[in-house]
Amino acid sequence: MALDLHADPIDLTAALVDVPSESGQEAELADLVEAALRRDAPHLEVVRNGDAVLARTNLGEPSRVILAGHLDTVPANDNLPVRREGEHLHGLGTVDMKSGDAVFLHLAAAVAEPKHDVTFVFYDNEEVEATRNGLGRIERELPDWLRADLAIVGEPSNAVIEAGCQGTMRVQLRIKGQRAHTARAWRGSNAIHGLYEPLRRLAEYRPRTPEIDGLTYHEGLQAVRVHGGVAGNVVPDDAVLDINHRYAPDRSPEQAEQHLREVFDGYELSVVDVSPGALPGLDAPAAAELVRAAGGQPVAKLGWTDVARFSALGMAAVNFGPGDPALAHTRQENVAISDITQVTQVLRTFLS
C-alpha cells in the first residue's frame, strides 16, 4: 500500500491505523511515511533515523517550528482494523496518536511555503521505557534536527492547546521489621503494619493547585503499589510502598524530591524514576501566534508528555492534537472527526 498525503486527514488517519505499529515494530509504517514524504512533499529535506522519519523546510525563515508525533502504539486489544461509526473513527491509535500524525503528514505535503520553517518528526518507541524513545536517539545522533523556537506535539488534547506539562516522580518508601512465627507474633515487628502512618499521611495529603501563566495545574500524590509478605504464617520483616507524585512545572525534580522527604520525614525514601515538567512558555512569539490561531483558551497539561523533552532543549512546547486523552490505551479508543478537522484548520492557519 501507499499513503496519499494529499488525501483528507480523516482518510489518512484510517490508513495509518490499519498499519500495525506496536512499539518496536514501526518499520513498515516508517517505510510508508518515508516514501510518501519523498513522493508527495519534494520541497522537504527527508532523512531516516532508525524507525524515525524526519523532514524539514530550509527556507531561511527567522523562526522554526517542530511538529512531532510518535508512530508507535500500545499492543492491540481487539480494536483493529479501523472502522467508522457516524462522526467517529474507532481503532487502535486513532487517538494516540495516528490522527495527529495524519494531520502533520497532510500539512507536510499541503503547505509548501510556510511562514515559519517547519521540521516534522515522526518517531518510534514513545509508548515504552524512556531509554528507548526515538527522540533520545535523534537528540544524540541528529541534534540539529531538534532545534526550533516552538515544538507542537500531536498528543491528544481534545483539539485544545495544552501548555507545558507536569513532572512525574516515583519513590519507594521502605519499612524494616523483624520476622517471627505468627503464633508468637509479639517476638517480631510487622513491617506491613508499619505502613499505617505513611498511608495516613497520604490519605490526609492536600495537593497544590498552582497557577502558572494563567493556567491551573493540579498536583497529585498517590500510593500505587504495596510489596510485602513472606508466607502465610510469618510476620513480614520488609514492606515497600510505591508512591507516584505529579508535580507542577514550577518545581524542579530536586524541589519535588525535597517536598516528598518533608512529607515522609522519618522514613527511608528512594527515588526510582523521575521526569521533569515543562513550563507553559506561551510568551514565546511563535507560541502566542499559535494560541491566536486556535482562537481559544489554552489549558494546563496535567500528564507528562514529550513536550518536556523539547522544553529541556530550550524551546516553548505545547500539546495539540485530535482526540480525548482519556480514551488512549483503551479498547474503546476513538476520535471525533471534527477534532481532526479542527486541528488541521488551526495548524494550516498558523503555518500559512
Catalytic status, residue 213: no
Active-site residue identified among 34, 72, 96, 237:
72
Active-site residue identified among 117, 126, 162, 306:
126
Residue 9 CA to residue 318 CA, distance in Å, equals 21
Under a CB-based contact definition with an 8 Å cutoff, are residues 100 and 152 in contact?
Answer: no
Residues near 99 by beta carbon (within 8 Å), at least 6 away in sequence = 9, 13, 89, 156, 321, 322, 323, 335, 339, 340
249 upstream amide cis, omega within 30 of 0: no
Catalytic status, residue 72: yes
Three-state secondary structure readout of the chain: CCCCCCCCHHHHHHHHHCCCCECCCCHHHHHHHHHHHHHHCCCCEEEEECCEEEEECCCCCCCEEEEEEECCECCCCCCCCCEEECCEEECCCHHHHHHHHHHHHHHHHHCCCCCCEEEEEEECCCCCCHHHCHHHHHHHHCHHHHCCCEEEECCCCCCCCEECECEEEEEEEEEECECEEHHHHHHCECCCHHHHHHHHHHHHCCCCCCEECCEECCCEEEEEEEEECCCCCEECCEEEEEEEEEECCCCCHHHHHHHHHHHCCCCEEEEEEEECCECCCCCCHHHHHHHHHHCCCCEECCCCCCHHHHHHCCCEEEECCCCCHHHCCCCCCEEEHHHHHHHHHHHHHHHC
Active-site annotation, residues: 72, 126
